[in-house]
Structure 1
């Protein structure tokens, strides 16, 4: 998927003044027997790059750069599976605080594009702390539109996205239905026993009908959501960028 050079592709003398920097935040953790460990990071990066392209088209005067992804997150709930590489909530919070403090020395706004649900609490805490310090920072989720919470991990949406983004890394012969109960119903078990205690395969959802075409459509929708949130810039108390209709309602 073609995109403009990212932040790290530039020399320091080639950087535009006060750019808006999008930072993809992912994880390194199991995504069932059929998806790679970097699934969250790959999706967050793709959403950030596509959102950046949308922002440049809508606002030619706005300098937007995508930073290298943060590939480690708070993934303790997946510790029962080999391959998990989690730095924990407190280390993630500290990492994000120090990263944004550094970026704020030369960037305009920093927007963290989050691709892993386990990062939410340390991310919100870090951004709230940074905003109190006066930094221009916010965050946004990569939402797939699963309001019921029945497709929350390595299911139809994430598998479709990876079939679109990196089909050579998806093994559909090993894809199998996991637990499809609503996430709210599963949460007590997830907290007590982790994902392995709820779903031995690590899948929360059903990936078997996933398709690259749906993944392309979903990526476009997710990028439009992130670009729309970043475009108007209004955030809630945790620093989460609001959708345009939410921002208007709160005005």
Structure 2
């Protein structure tokens, strides 16, 4: 079910689980759209709702903590503090739902997301955060994300503009990335190599992430963590 298309009385007397796609609006190299992370998080939430009964998918949060991409045109960021506050207040407002799953599509959201979940659980709220995983040397607009977008929205991928970016593992880059931003590490904004991306690889990635998300949510529903 899609929350945005429902009418309020349709939820009366029901207590579904709310899945909130959490994305970003930020550069993804010269070949991918700015809403890549939001698109992926939304699709994974939609796939989750197909597999787990009682899931309602909320409209996505399309802005996140993207300050590391600020040197590129089109990037919009609300920062870590604001994102943490948004997530806390949003989940607090969802008390009529059985619980809330925050499906995160952007790595830069990790710290405020983790802090928000910690605070919400101390308040006794049932909330789960989940993020997809991938190779350490392919963390942004590289082979995996490009393949996924070729599978989901091929008409928005300019594959002829795809070129390799910085391909060192993210742990080797993370400190400078945090202090100097992505552009200091990769002038084209890519962390990885998208040049051999395919829709078939993207479909497999979506299937793998969906299976992992479904397992995480099913386990959480069966054994919700204590506050």
Shift of 1:235: 7.0
Deviations 1:161-181 (A, max 9, x none): 000111110000100011100
- Pick from 55, 61, 64 the counterpart of residue 73 of structure 1: 64
Distance 2:195 2:149 in 1: 13
**Distance in 1 between the 2:25 and 2:142 partners?**
17
Whole-angstrom distance in 2 between the partners of 1:41 and 1:188: 25
Structure 1, unaligned stretches of length 5 or more?
57-62, 240-251
1:51 Cα deviation (Å)?
1.6
1:55 matched to 2:52? The reply is yes
SS in 2 for 1:107: coil
Query: How far 1:191 sits from its partner (Å)?
Result: 1.7
SS in 1 for 2:61: coil
Within 5 Å, which residues of 2 pair with 1:15-34?
Answer: 15=11, 17-34=14-31
| Structure 2 unmatched runs, 5+ | none
Which of 71, 89, 108 is matched with 1:118 structurally? 108
Indicate which of 43, 67, 71 corresponds to 1:46.
Answer: 43
What secondary structure does 1:110 align onto? strand
RMSD: 1.4
Does residue 91 of structure 2 align to residue 95 of structure 1? no
Mapped partners of 1:135, 1:235: distance in 2: 10
Deviating above 4 A after TM superposition, structure 1's stretches of 4 or more consecutive aligned residues are: 234-237
Aligned residue pair count: 224
**2:126/2:224 contact within 8 Å kept:** no
- Tell me the residue number matched to 1:218: 205
In 1: Cα distance, 2:208 partner to 2:47 partner: 10
Q: Residue 189 of structure 1 corresponds to which residue in structure 2?
A: 176
Partner of 1:162: 149
Aligned-pair CA distance for 1:236: 7.5
Structure 1, residues 71-90: CA drift from partner, whole Å, max 9, x if none? 00000000110111000000
Equivalence for 1:248? none
